[in-house]
Every structure is written in structure tokens, then in C-alpha cells.
Amino acid sequence: MLFEPLTAPFLKQTPPQHHPRNMMKAFIVDRYGSKNGLRLGEVPIPEPREDEVLVQIHAAGVNLIDSKVKSGEFKLILPYRLPLVMGHDVAGVVIKVGARVRQFKVGDEVYSRPDDFRIGAFAEYIAIRESSLAIKPKALTMEEAASIPLVGLTAWQALVERAKLKKGQRVFIQAGSGGVGTFAIQLAKHLGATVATTTSTANVGLVKSLRADVVIDYKQQDFEHLLRDYDVVLNSQDGKTLNKSLGVLKGGGKLISISGPPDPEFGSEIGAPWFVKLVMRVLSAGIRREAKRRGVNFSFLFMKAAGNQLREITHLIDAGNIRPVLDRVFPFESTNEAMAYVETGRAKGKVVIKIK
């Protein structure tokens, strides 16, 4: 149940005895607030449960969700107890395995988007469930691998699972030069779709290099005047853009939003309390009503950890169908600067922290 408030496990478990030191460096949220930076401190190295492995972290991806959790924006959806080690994207090496783990062994190079309530990638070590882990793509460095899990799984769950995107269909992917956008364009092209995207003048070349078919410079043009009869829209922008997106879909088309508003189905999926479901119902009432009037389908997607889907993504990367797009790599001690850079919204592709 997502809504059981859990303390981050490594803040309460007995540290393992096999390690020469039982503490690790980590970037910690002490209290919610957008102005507060993360604190570099020491916490116990987590002891993996029976179904988990302990990973020595080499690199961690930085995502907007890190800022949103830190500021308290996601308190209703993710009621974490503080203090909390931040970080949702990880690549590293397995150094210990739980008693029931069968797919991984010590020395494996792996990557993951850890489960909600088990996050903590801005640290030297993390315990991750076997079911949320995959062997990292051979072709990628640790930094490149750490850039993939969250955006890769978001794109996969939106386009493959939710939209069931097929060859010959047309998809509009907003913000094509961002983390999700750069991955989603490549995945949609692999699936055989025609892809339209928006970007700024400076990034037109980048999204064309990812094989986007229709590139709209949002500083010069308005997408709702140019796009018609699309099968799928992947919305990652504000409410105004969400409403405009309805107009580019054909009857029966799907509007999938990863930036909200959360809908009642999502509330049921995570087992939210009744008052949270009510809030979600109210927040999404307008867009759901308008979508129904136009004969299209609206849904909110909050991506989930999934090692089996990451394995599919590994195959695509190792086959050369998808490449990571990395903007900048920051050293571990500059984690707050890396988050501030992501918050500007100007990163091309992903921002990563190098830990080891």
C-alpha cells in the first residue's frame, strides 16, 4: 500500500557488520520546503532484506520529482516521513544479496528506479528490491545508465503499456529535448509511430537527431494550430498546455499526462485514503469532463519501478535503438547544484551525479 507512511529503511535498520565502516555519506531532506537545500550527512549503510540487493552506487540521475518531493508538493501522493535520503535513479555494483535473491550476484553491474518509499540514490549505497532491478546495458557507462531508469520507465509505461502505440500511429510528445522527451521520441520511433514534438529554437537539431518527424519551435509556433488527428499525446507541461492538447487528438485518442492532475483511477491504484481520492476527483474534474465531451480518453500516469520493463529497455539500448542523452555530470558534493540546474528546466536530456 503506497499510503502507509514508512520511514526510509536505512534510517532505522542495524547497519551491516561485513563492511569496514557502517556509515555512508548521503544527501538528506530534513524538512519540506522549496528553499531548503539537501543536507550532506551520514546515515547507516542499509542492510538488504531477503528480497533485496545492496548496491554500491556509482552514479545517480537527477529528476524533477526529487525537487517536488523535497518541496513537499507530493506529500499527498507520497507521504514520506523525514529525514529522507533523496534520489530516484541509480547505477552501480551489487555488493551483497538477500537470502531469496536469485537473479543477481555480487559484482553485477545494475541499474534501477527504486520503489517509492525505498528511494535514496543520492548516497554511497542503496538496498533495492530484486524485482525493481536490471543488469545495466553493456554499451553504457555508469553515468549514462543512471540517466535511464526513471525516464525510460515513464516513456515505456505511457507509450507501450497505456497507449499501446502501434506502427503507423501518430504521437505528440511534448518537451522533446527534456529527459522523458528524448527517450520517448526514440521509443516511439522504434515502435513505428510518426512523432511530433515541441522544443526551443536551440534544441531543434537535437530532437531531429532523435528522428522526430514534426518539430515545432514553441517560441515561433503554436502546436494546437499545426497538429490534428493524433492518436496519442504525452503531456508533461502545465494545465494550459494540457487543455490545448485535447484539440490535437482524433476521436478515441488518448491524452496521457505525467504532470497531473491525478485522476480518481490513480487514487484507487495507490490505495489512497478517501479524502485524497476526493481531492484528485476535484483536481481532474475539468479535464475529464472536457475529454469526455470531445470523445477522447484522459489518464494520469505516475510511473512505477519495474525491473522486467528495464530489461526490455536494456535490450533496446544494447541493440542501438535508443541512446542516452546526457546534458551534464556533477560531482557528488555538488548534488544541490545539480538539482538547481534541473529546476531551471533548461537541461537537454538528463543530469547525473557521479558518486564513485
Per-residue pLDDT reduced to its tens digit, 45-76: 999 999 999 999 999 999 999 999 999 999 88
Query: 89 — phi, psi (to 5°)?
Result: -135, 130
Mode of pairing for the β-strands spanning 109-112 and 133-135: antiparallel
The three three-digit cell numbers of residue 331, written as one number: 560531482
Q: Is the pLDDT of residue 10 over 60?
A: no
What global pTM score does this model have? 0.93
Q: Which of 259, 257, 247, 249 is nearest to 222 (CA)?
A: 247
pLDDT reading at 324 higher than 90? yes
Q: At 120, phi and psi to the nearest 5? A: 135, 40
pLDDT of residue 18: 45
Neighbours of 250 (CB within 10 A): 13
Spatial separation of the C-alpha atoms in residues 254 and 248, rounded to whole Å? 10
Residue-level pLDDT at 64: 95
pLDDT band (50, 70, 90) for residue 3: very low
Q: Is 117 left (phi over 0), alpha (psi -120 to 50) or beta?
A: left
Q: Per the omega criterion (within 30 degrees of 0), is the bond before 261 cis?
A: yes
Question: Across-strand partners of 28?
Answer: 39, 85
Q: How confident is the model at residue 92 (pLDDT cuts 50, 70, 90)?
A: very high
Question: Cα 173 to chain center, whole Å?
Answer: 16
d(CA 262, CA 69) in angstroms, rounded, equals 16
- Quick check: 87 pLDDT over 80? yes
Q: Does 109 score more than 60 pLDDT?
A: yes
DSSP 191-226: TT-EEEEEE-GGGHHHHHHTT-SEEEETTT--HHHH
For residue 216, the cross-strand partners are 198
Model confidence at 323: pLDDT above 60: yes
User: Does residue 13 register a pLDDT over 60?
Assistant: no
pLDDT 10s digits, 274-307: 999 999 999 999 999 999 999 999 999 999 999 9
| pLDDT of the residue at 21 | 74
Single-letter code of the amino acid located at 248: V
pLDDT over 80 (residue 9): no
Tell me the pLDDT tens digit for each residue of 14-25: 344 444 479 999
Examine the pLDDT at 342 and tell me if it is beyond 70.
yes
Residue 346, SS3 per DSSP: coil
Residue 34's pLDDT band (boundaries 50, 70, 90)? confident
Q: Nine-digit cell at 349? A: 536530456
| pLDDT at site 19 | 44
Query: What's residue 14's pLDDT?
Result: 38
| Domains of the chain from N-terminus onward | 9-148+324-354 (3.90.180.10), 150-300 (3.40.50.720)
Distances 33 to 100, 148, 210 between C-alpha atoms, Å: 39, 27, 37
Kind of pairing between the strands at 109-112 and 89-97? antiparallel
- Give the Å distances, CA to CA, from 41 to 11, 32, 80: 12, 17, 19
More confident residue, 213 or 33: 213
Q: Which amino acid is at 143?
A: E
The answer to whether the peptide bond before residue 20 is cis (omega within 30 degrees of 0) is no
CA 272 – CA 283 distance, rounded (Å): 15
